[in-house]
Amino acid sequence: MPEINTWQIIKNNVLRRLSERQWLPGDTLPSEMEFAREFGCARATVNKALNELASTGILERKRKSGTRVTINPVRKATMSIPVTRQEIQARGCTYSHVLIENTLKRLPAHMTSRFNVPGGVKALHHKALHLSDHEAFLYEDRWINTIVMPDIQEVDFTTISANEWLVGHAPYSRGELSILSAAASADEALHLGIDEGRPILIVERTTWSDTQPITFVRLAYRPGYRLNSTL
Amino acid sequence: MPEINTWQIIKNNVLRRLSERQWLPGDTLPSEMEFAREFGCARATVNKALNELASTGILERKRKSGTRVTINPVRKATMSIPVTRQEIQARGCTYSHVLIENTLKRLPAHMTSRFNVPGGVKALHHKALHLSDHEAFLYEDRWINTIVMPDIQEVDFTTISANEWLVGHAPYSRGELSILSAAASADEALHLGIDEGRPILIVERTTWSDTQPITFVRLAYRPGYRLNSTL
DNA sequence: TAGTGGTCTAGACCACATA
DNA sequence: ATGTGGTCTAGACCACTAT
């Protein structure tokens, strides 16, 4: 428990007292002024420490009513979703990727509703396979809105993955993420080199720039893959 | 874009300029002092705004070298993992749960390593089914460390779920979370009322109080379940 | 109405990494 | 050596809400 700063000392102290059940779920903690006196510091310092704890969902803070221990804490896990190349290289493996498809075509029905655009609009359909030590790791099936990203049709995706290009060229303002389990489709099974119907982890992500959809991607991970996080 | 506070105004302003590509990945932003002059505010206010952006992974800050636009941002998604009862009730459904097993037994080998305890130690093996509108929603298979939580053997888990009891009585200091896709085991399939081998989403969680493991739980969600989040 | 947290200031000192 | 962000202070005013 490294305690270098005053606000971290306060944070850790409060955490310890919570684990020792000095304050139970629903209880009100002392006010910022009281903590400031206890620790001999400014109120702003206490404010930072308590807000830090509130951001993890352990405490709830409201003006006038004070700081309370959350009764049914919504546990918040921060999942880090790195660029695939980095994720693979971080494990000490060799990264490579193969472009499978990159064509302009009419959006299918399930995509027009997702992109909230009229039917008949064309978009870039992009499929690629990411490999770890030359073995299939992740199959990517992506639609890119060419109205928002016209430059993308000139990009050579055999040298850089769409994943990385978009990260560098399409700053998003908003995104939605969905994690599910599915039976591998024929397409996914073929490219991942597994049997159709095998359970695989799917991550679907839509990103928006203001009100314009930029891209929708469905990531199919090879069997055995886990998304890990600490609480 | 509600702009009430100075620090939120600054944050939104910087976000807009980033999306307009005024600063590209790798670029250095103006210093806090320069921003403070631009917005006519104190440096602490700029500090709060930029730290807010850095916490989302968009910016990277280092003493002396300044604030840079992250080159390969590790996208951070915050997943909210509510207590199951709340999650079901929030959808307007009726929550109920059934206790399936709650017995003290020797830890199997894969759990002794996970709990980092010697072999032969006993723990509470707890299985329960959570229902939404009287249909199977989530099957919970849990081991609880009775050395750390001796009171738990007296609890009546037919009235309160282990999930909720632990949230209120076992504050954890640390936790690990793992999300994966798996074929439903015979046990899971039986209780969820599905065919064995069906792909289901699995969440495994271990929580620790300081150095002592409190509980390990494997949550098996019914087919079709999605974990959602915004970026 | 009163007490709480939210925000902001002007200034200060410090830790750190770069040049 | 220098300039950056990290932290802290003492004080202030404000917004919200329980009483």
Over the range A172-205, which residues count as b (16 or more CB within 10 Å of their CB) and which as e? bbebbbebbbbbbbeebbebbebeebbbbbbbbb
User: What pLDDT shows up at residue A1?
Assistant: 54
User: What pLDDT shows up at residue A134?
Assistant: 95
Which structure tokens are listed for A36? Answer: 């400031």
Q: Tell me which of A58-67, B108-117, B201-210, B220-229 is least confident.
A: B108-117
Q: What percent of chain B has pLDDT over 70?
A: 96
> Residue B132 and residue B81: Cα distance in Å, rounded?
17
Task: Report the phi/psi class of residue A81: left, alpha or beta, with left for phi > 0 and alpha for psi in -120 to 50.
Answer: beta
User: What pLDDT shows up at residue A68?
Assistant: 92
Any CB–CB contact under 8 A between A207 and chain B?
yes
User: What pLDDT shows up at residue B199?
Assistant: 97
Any CB–CB contact under 8 A between B156 and chain A?
no
- From the alpha carbon of B28, which nucleotide's C1' atom is closest? D4
User: What pLDDT shows up at residue B194?
Assistant: 97
Question: Which residues of A fall within a CB distance of 8 Å from B18?
Answer: 171
User: What pLDDT shows up at residue A217?
Assistant: 93
**Domain boundaries of chain A, sorted by first residue:** 6-69, 84-221
- Residue B231: pLDDT band (50, 70, 90) is confident
> Residue A176 and residue A207: Cα distance in Å, rounded?
6
User: What pLDDT shows up at residue B151?
Assistant: 79
Q: What are A10's strand-pairing partners?
A: none
> Residue B194 and residue B215: Cα distance in Å, rounded?
27
Query: Mean pLDDT throughout B48-62?
Result: 92
User: What pLDDT shows up at residue B230?
Assistant: 79
- Residue B126: pLDDT band (50, 70, 90) is very high
pLDDT exceeds cutoff 90 at B81 = no
Whether the CB-CB separation of A141 and A217 falls below 8 Å is answered with: yes
User: Which of A153 and B102 is assigned the larger pLDDT?
Assistant: B102
> Residue A171 and residue B21: Cα distance in Å, rounded?
8
Test A181 with B176 for CB contact under 8 angstroms: no
User: Which of B185 and A161 is assigned the larger pLDDT?
Assistant: B185
| First vs last C-alpha separation in chain A | 16
pLDDT exceeds cutoff 70 at B136 = yes
Test B86 with A75 for CB contact under 8 angstroms: no
Compute how many other C-beta atoms are within 10 angstroms of the C-beta atom of residue A153.
11
Q: Pick out residues whose CB falls under 7 Å from strand C.
A: A 29, 31-33, 43-44, 47, 50-51, 54, 61-67; B 5-8, 40-45, 48, 62-65
pLDDT exceeds cutoff 90 at B187 = yes
> Residue B130 and residue B149: Cα distance in Å, rounded?
23
pLDDT exceeds cutoff 80 at B170 = no
User: What pLDDT shows up at residue A173?
Assistant: 66
Chain A residue with Cα closest to B174? A231
Alpha-carbon distance values, A221 to A9, A153, A227, B196 (Å)? 41, 26, 10, 22
Angle, helices B6-19 vs B32-39, to 10°: value is 110
User: What pLDDT shows up at residue B70?
Assistant: 86
Residue B222 to chain A, least CA–CA distance (Å): 10
According to CATH, the superfamily of the domain at B84-221 is: Chorismate lyase-like (3.40.1410.10)
Please name the member of B78, B174, B180 whose beta carbon is closest to the beta carbon of A226. Answer: B180
Any CB–CB contact under 8 A between A90 and chain B?
no
Local structure of residue A116 (DSSP, 8 states): T
> Residue A107 and residue A205: Cα distance in Å, rounded?
17
Q: For the segment A93-149, what is each residue's pLDDT rounded down to a tens digit?
A: 999 999 999 999 999 988 888 887 877 788 999 999 999 999 999 999 999 988 888
Chain A residue with Cα closest to B229? A177
What average pLDDT does chain A have?
Answer: 88
Please name the member of A21, A81, A179 whose beta carbon is closest to the beta carbon of B226. Answer: A179
> Residue A144 and residue A126: Cα distance in Å, rounded?
8
User: What pLDDT shows up at residue A122?
Assistant: 87
> Residue A139 and residue A194: Cα distance in Å, rounded?
12
Residue B38 to chain A, least CA–CA distance (Å): 23
Q: Which residues of chain A have pLDDT under 70?
A: 1-3, 72-74, 171-173
Tell which residue, A129, A189, A184, has the closest CA to residue A162.
A129
- Residue B191: pLDDT band (50, 70, 90) is very high
The whole-number Å distance from A69's CA to C15's C1' is 34
- Residue B222: pLDDT band (50, 70, 90) is very high
pLDDT exceeds cutoff 90 at B146 = no
Q: Does domain A6-69 have CATH number 1.10.10.10?
A: yes
pLDDT exceeds cutoff 90 at B156 = no
Any CB–CB contact under 8 A between B200 and chain A?
yes
CB-contacted nucleotides of strand D (7 Å)? 2-12, 15-18
The whole-number Å distance from A38's CA to D12's C1' is 22
What average pLDDT does chain B have?
Answer: 88
Chain B residue with Cα closest to A20? B171
Question: Which residues of A fall within a CB distance of 8 Å from B81?
Answer: 74-77
User: What pLDDT shows up at residue B181?
Assistant: 97
- Residue B132: pLDDT band (50, 70, 90) is very high
User: What pLDDT shows up at residue B56?
Assistant: 85
